[in-house]
Amino acid sequence: MSDKQWRVVHYINQFFGQFGGEDQADMGFVLKREPVGPGLTLAKELGDDFEIVTTLICGDNYFARDPEERSREAHALLKEIDPDLLIAGPAFAAGRYGVACGAMCKRAVEEMGIPGITGMFEENPGVALYCEETFICETGDSVRDMLPSLKRITRLAVQLLKGGENPRLVCRENLPSPQEFEYYSRGVIRNEYTPESTAERAVRLLLAKIKGEHYVSEIVPERMESYQAPAPIEDLDQCVIALVSDGGLAPKGNPDGFSGRGNLVWSTYEVESFFPEDEADQEYEIVHTGYFPDQVIEDPYRLVPIDVLRELKAEGVIAGIHPAFFSTSGNATVAKRCAHIGEEMAEEMRKYEIDAVILTST
Map the footprint of other proteins across residues 117-136, applying CB under 8 A. 132
Is residue 329 a contact residue for other proteins (CB under 8 A)? Answer: no
CB of 19 to other proteins, least distance (A): 37
Looking only at residues 204 through 263 of this chain, which bind other proteins when binding is defined by CB under 8 A? 205-207, 209-211, 215, 217-227, 229, 231-234, 236, 241, 247, 257, 259-262
Burial class (CB in 10 A: 0-12, 13-18, 19+), 216: exposed
HSE of 101, CA atoms in CB hemisphere, 13 A: 31
Q: For residue 155, what are the contacts with CB-CB under 8 A and spacing of at least 6?
A: 181
Closest to 195 in 3D by CA, of 168, 163, 225: 168
3-state secondary structure of 263: coil
Per CB under 8 A, does 198 bind other proteins?
yes
Selected from 76, 128, 334, 346, the binder of other proteins by CB under 8 A is 334
User: Quick one: which of 18, 270, 291, 352 contacts other proteins (CB under 8 A)?
Assistant: 291
Is residue 188 a contact point for other proteins (CB under 8 A)? Answer: yes
Identity of the residue, 210 or 280, whose beta carbon is nearer to other proteins in the bound complex = 210
Q: Could you tell me the smallest distance in angstroms from the CB atom of residue 255 to other proteins?
A: 12
For other proteins, the closer of residues 19 and 258 by Cβ is: 258
- What stretches of 200-337 adopt beta strand conformation (E)? 240-245, 249-251, 266-270, 284-286, 320-321, 324-328
Among 128, 147, 202, 346, which residue interacts with other proteins (rule: CB under 8 A)? 202
Pick 43 or 306: Cβ nearer other proteins: 306
Amino acid (1-letter code) at residue 3: D
- In angstroms, the CA 280 to CA 240 distance is 26
What spatial distance separates the first Cα and last Cα of the chain, rounded to whole Å?
58
Instruction: Give the nearer residue to other proteins in terms of CB position, either 2 or 179.
Output: 179
Q: Are 140 and 159 in contact (CB under 8 A)?
A: no
- Binding pattern for the stretch 149-178 against other proteins, x by CB under 8 A and - elsewhere: ---------------------xxx--x-xx
Question: CB under 8 A: which stretch of 42-50, 76-84, 109-117, 200-208 binds other proteins?
Answer: 200-208
Q: Which is nearer to other proteins, 41 or 177 (CB)?
A: 177
Q: Strand pairing of 266-270 and 320-321?
A: unpaired
Helix axes 67-78, 95-107, angle to 10 degrees: 50
Residue 271-290 contact track with other proteins, rule CB under 8 A, x = bound: ------------------xx
Secondary structure (3-state) at 357 = strand
